[in-house]
Amino acid sequence: MIKDTIPLGKFPAGKNDVAKETALPEGALREALNVDIDDAGNIRLREGFEKVYSGTNVRSLHKRYFAEGDKLKYLNAD
């Protein structure tokens, strides 16, 4: 089911995923995905991403180690 869009205001209490949904403090946000919340409670979209590696059959990324095909590789910062 499609939910209606609601305008967003400020959330000075920030994100709170500890309190029960029925007892969420005023000015708190329960869940936020791909957004940044500044100290004043303003929300803005998170910046995009930067491609750091182009490969095929890449899997199992953990920290900077990953498998590509039958090889274990290490992703360098540069």
Q: Which of 19, 16, 42, 43 is nearest to 30 (CA)?
A: 16
- Report in angstroms the alpha-carbon separations of 63 from 6, 28, 30, 36, 73: 38, 32, 29, 23, 11
SS3 call for 24:
coil
Percent of the chain residues past pLDDT 90, beyond the cut: 3
Question: Would the pTM of this model clear 0.95, i.e. be above it?
Answer: no
Mean pLDDT value of segment 29-49: 81
* CA dist., res. 16 & res. 77, Å (int): 34
* CA dist., res. 24 & res. 22, Å (int): 6
